[in-house]
Amino acid sequence: MSATYNFCAGPAMLPAEVMQKAQKELLDWNGQGVSVMEVSHRSKEFIALTEQAEADIRELMAIPANYHVLFMHGGGRGQFAAVVNNFLGSKGKALYLVDGSWSSAAVDEAVKLAGTEQIDILNIVNKDNNINSISLPDLSAIDQDYRYVHYCPNETVDGIEIFEELNAPWPIVADMSSNIMSRKIDVSRYGLIYAGAQKNIGPSGLSIVIINDDLLALPQQPQASIMDYRLAVKHDSMYNTPPTFAWYLAAEVFKWLKSNGGVAAMEAINQQKAQLLYAFIDSCDFYESRVANANRSQMNVTFYLKDESLNEQFIRQAKEAGLVALKGHRSVGGMRASIYNAMPIEGVEALVNFMKQFAQRNA
């Protein structure tokens, strides 16, 4: 069988080496004769795994000592709620920047929990001639004492990424679910970073939270204990039983990243992969990108066939060629190739070849 390349936006493909190692160890982890799924999260072997995972992510992202790394439940949406409940109390206000579907969903949750009086919203997407672009506002001009400003630097559905640094006079909370560890960032610029694991880190069910200790002092609202950052810190992310298998796989992904040159190496190859695909889309009349050059996501490449009546045929033939999960999100249509860290450049080359041939056949 020839290779299958999985372009799913999430749960997304994981590195083949990690999956092979997990397969090998499935029934006998660490010489214990049982699976990692079957041991206590409080056993010394599992604790050693979590300590290594934390050390590795700290090294990979150069996380400063005054930040905690939490391994929590509830994916990205769980954090939409946790951020509000942990930081706003009954009076605090927050600013939400909207640059696409997920930041908009974060607003919905924040408004549901805190009400419109506590949540201010600022749209930062422009749509000109059907092309999306972002203009980051000068936030220092806003005279408000926000507890935090929330934004999503990579919009998974829309294929929009913000590469420019956001400057803000308040702590920045960033939803990096779909671009964490895809390129180097300066963690010290953020109050809190969170990410659902199922794109660049591991399977779903786990989310990573990187939090500046100063934010732990903010007043909170009554909330579910399992989403309480202070309890998570106090209990080393084990207030209740964590998703242990997802945590184990994340730990293996971190090892894989380290042995493949870390985030800097990922950034270089991710640029190359995205460049290859966008350059082809721009060079071929048959396809179009609807995102301005400066904001084209390196992780989620959205594109459209100019003749959209060929969409179904494109998806079907791509699948036959071993290129799966290319259908765009139902809310925006078109196509989406998610090319996270685990996607080898050969997958992108195979996609470009297929797109070229499909265009020739249907010109």
What token pair was written down for 179?
Answer: 């671009």
Kindly state the smallest distance separating residue 74's Cβ from ligand PMP, in Å: 7
**Which CB, 175 or 228, lies closer to ligand PMP?**
175
Does residue 175 carry a catalytic annotation? yes
Kindly state the smallest distance separating residue 335's Cβ from ligand PMP, in Å: 17
Give me the catalytic one of 56, 99, 158, 175.
175
φ, ψ for residue 113 (rounded to 5)? -85, -35
279: Cβ contacts below 8 Å, ≥ 6 apart: none
**Which CB, 92 or 196, lies closer to ligand PMP?**
196
Known binding-site residues equal 42, 76-77, 102, 156, 175, 198, 240-241
Does residue 102 carry a catalytic annotation? yes
**Which CB, 76 or 92, lies closer to ligand PMP?**
76
Q: What are the beta bridge partners of residue 67?
A: 212
CA separation (Å) from 347 to 43, 256, 340, 354, 361? Answer: 40, 19, 11, 11, 21
What token pair was written down for 265?
Answer: 């190496």
Q: In this structure, are strands 148-151 and 94-98 parallel, antiparallel, or unpaired?
A: parallel
CA dihedral 314, 317, 321, 323 (to 10 degrees): 40
Kindly state the smallest distance separating residue 260's Cβ from ligand PMP, in Å: 23
Cα-Cα end-to-end distance for the chain = 30
Count CA atoms closer than 13 A to 186's CA, side-chain side.
7
Known binding-site residues for L-glutamate equal 42
What token pair was written down for 7?
Answer: 């372009």
Give me the catalytic one of 29, 99, 102, 158.
102
Kindly state the smallest distance separating residue 179's Cβ from ligand PMP, in Å: 8
**Which CB, 178 or 280, lies closer to ligand PMP?**
178
Residue by residue, DSSP assigns 273-340 as: HHHHHHHHHHH-TTEE--B-GGGB-SSEEEEEESSGGGHHHHHHHHHHTTEE--BPPTTT-SEEEE--
Known binding-site residues for pyridoxal 5'-phosphate equal 76-77, 102, 156, 175, 198, 240-241
Give the footprint of ligand PMP on this chain (CB under 6 A).
Answer: 10, 75-77, 102, 152, 156, 175, 177-178, 196
Give me the catalytic one of 199, 228, 256, 273.
199
**Which CB, 77 or 319, lies closer to ligand PMP?**
77
Which residue lies nearest ligand PMP, judged by its C-beta?
75
Q: What are the beta bridge partners of residue 194?
A: 175, 209
Kindly state the smallest distance separating residue 349's Cβ from ligand PMP, in Å: 25
Q: Position of tokens 């995205």?
A: 274
Does residue 247 carry a catalytic annotation? no
User: Which positions are catalytic?
Assistant: 102, 175, 199
